[in-house]
Chain A
């Protein structure tokens, strides 16, 4: 961990505030994310998790505060000060965004292979054969049956759609992946397999990751650090085990004690 930190943060969020009129989405959020690190964000519904994720991932300009990303060429840059062209380029090369609902992240009317290949074509790959090779390689990595490569995603199960979404995002080898409730809506055994897959890929490729979830089991399994949010504010943050095993804030204590024993 210390060795990574010497390289400086990959993403730096300072004083991030998003207001919807008088309503607070999230307020005064600070954090840094280092290469290869997995950050979990937990909290109840309406606590500002998704707002924070949208602001940090360039989908929504925050009311105040900065989001800076360590770009490959120019170093740390405020992503909202970049031109829209540069920001969108960043989003489809160095970043991945995995949505809760796979339908938001996939093109439902083109085949699985084309979904995975889209990013490659967007960055200028024009050789059908090699696009197909890379696509099938990635479909294998997410444990998909290659026989389904030319099928439409709408014929897939929820778990398969989610795995396809992961392949589609990782194909350009991003350095940072945002995940918004990646496992909710899947049944428990599929969740476990997906989490196992994500954990493997993230460790193997050294991808930094921000995972928003309300499922403490997910963060326990995946994340190195944890942020607990409530009413738009971060109430507690620290190493995952530390926060979950020795919660300090009253709300975190409530959250941890609310897990139903099996």
Chain B
């Protein structure tokens, strides 16, 4: 086995099997029949926006819950000329993101990037990039629990029937419950949405801050749940509406602070504890967005002007 660096350029293979990647594996790890099966599920998902299509999820070389569904979708749609970006909680440099990016660099030999605008495929866990996506990009979500009704109705036979008959009253029961108890809708992530006026869909555990980005998004959105063996999709330019009440409309999170590093006031902020004395700072969760802003000269309260070359050293 030859372990190659992910930065090496990809060359077109003679057959199916790429030369530069790890030996003994098909292009992008999965065999062609499996990829066909997954592509069929994806096509069906795109045809019926928000509908959960069952598929024969395969074992992947990492545990369930680490993105096996997203990886299988990525493996099925990735091509030699694609550029892959992987984010985990908005960051490009966390373990999950780094490992999945390396995995595809090795098994498919594709180019990888941390720049949202350079990527043709973006696999994500728990965030949508701040920078608006374009219609030549695909966003692939890693989904732990694809069934939005699961918490109100544990029976799978019943939830399927509820989807089929559009019986979505109970979804509002959970929102009602939240208002009755706390005075507002407290669901902050995995906030249920209605797609194309029909199916109720779990948007994966993205913060509700990201929900409005799904509405009429130019990019194709694919969702893969490996353990639960479901794939669903939102085609480009599709209505995605977050559920709410007339007198308690859907709102997104807001912060009093701006990003401490880049000063952004329009991005999702993570609270970072800096010492044992209650010190903290708020920084952009989207590391690429933050870095680009800093490169462009924006500086936050605790930020220092940064040179463009500094990033990427951690890998």
Interfacial residues, chain A to chain B (CB-CB below 8 A): 84-85, 88, 107, 110-111, 113-114, 117-119, 121-123, 126-129, 131-132, 149-150
Chain B residues within an 8 Å CB radius of A123: 169
With A and B bound together, what is the CA distance between A176 and B219 in angstroms?
50
With contacts A127-B247, A129-B247 taken as known, whether A114 is within 8 angstroms of B169 at the C-beta atoms is no
Q: How far is the CA of A128 from the CA of B169 in the complex (A)?
A: 13
Q: Considering the chains assembled together, what is the distance between the CA atoms of A118 and B171 in angstroms?
A: 9
* Cα distance A127–B172 in the bound complex, in angstroms: 10
Is there an interface contact between A150 and B173, defined as CB atoms closer than 8 Å?
A: no
B246 & A111 in contact (Cβ 8 Å cutoff): no
Q: What is the bound-complex CA distance between A132 and B176, given in angstroms?
A: 9
Is the CB–CB distance between A121 and B247 below 8 Å? no
Measured between beta carbons, the chain A residues less than 8 angstroms from B176 are 110, 113-114, 117, 121, 128, 131
Query: Do B177 and A114 touch across chains, with their CB atoms under 8 A apart?
Result: yes
B contacts with A, residue count (CB < 8 A): 19
Inside 8 A of B152's CB, which chain A residues have their CB?
107
Seed contacts A84-B161, A117-B176, A128-B176; 5 additional CB < 8 Å A-B pairs: A85-B165, A110-B176, A122-B169, A126-B245, A128-B248
Interface secondary structure of B, over-half rule = helix
**With a CB–CB cut-off of 8 A, which chain A residues contact B301?**
none
Q: Are A88 and B245 in contact (CB under 8 A)?
A: no
Q: Would B246 and A110 count as touching, CB distance under 8 A? A: no
* Min CB–CB distance B38 → chain A (angstroms): 31
Interface string of B26-67 (1 = CB under 8 A from A): 000000000000000000000000000000000000000000
Which chain A residue lies CB-closest to B162? A88
A110 and B177 contacting across the interface, CB-CB below 8 Å:
yes
Please tell me which one of the listed residues A85, A126, A149 contacts residue B172 in the complex, with CB atoms under 8 A apart: A126
B273 contacts the other chain (Cβ, under 8 Å)?
no
In the complex, chain B residues 142-190 whose Cβ is within 8 Å of any chain A Cβ: 152, 161, 165-167, 169-170, 172-174, 176-177, 179-181
Is B172 touching A121 in the complex (CB atoms < 8 A)? yes
Q: How far is the CA of A114 from the CA of B179 in the complex (A)?
A: 10
Residues of A within 8 A of B165 (CB): 84-85, 88
Distance of A131 from chain B, by nearest CB (Å):
7
> Given the complex of chains A and B, what is the CA–CA distance between A132 and B172 in angstroms?
13
Q: Which of B167, B173, B180, B247 contacts A107 (CB 8 A)?
A: B173
The answer to whether B173 touches A110, judged by C-beta atoms less than 8 angstroms apart, is yes
Of B174, B177, B248, chain A has the most CB atoms within 10 Å of the CB of: B177
Are B173 and A121 touching (Cβ within 8 A)? Answer: yes
Q: A85-B165, A118-B173, A122-B169 are in contact. Are A111 and B180 (CB under 8 A)?
A: yes
Residue contact A119 to B173, C-beta cutoff 8 Å: no
Residues of chain A lying within 8 A (CB to CB) of residue B167: 88, 122
Complex CA distance for A122 and B173, rounded to whole angstroms: 9
Contact B169 A127 (CB under 8 A): no
Which residues of the partner chain B approach A119 to less than 8 Å between Cβ atoms?
Answer: 169
By the criterion CB–CB under 8 Å, are A127 and B173 in contact? no
Could you give 28 example pairs across A and B, Cβ below 8 Å?
A84-B161, A88-B167, A110-B176, A110-B177, A111-B177, A111-B180, A113-B180, A114-B173, A114-B176, A114-B180, A117-B176, A118-B169, A118-B170, A121-B176, A122-B167, A122-B169, A122-B170, A126-B245, A126-B246, A128-B176, A128-B179, A128-B247, A128-B248, A131-B176, A132-B180, A149-B180, A150-B180, A150-B181
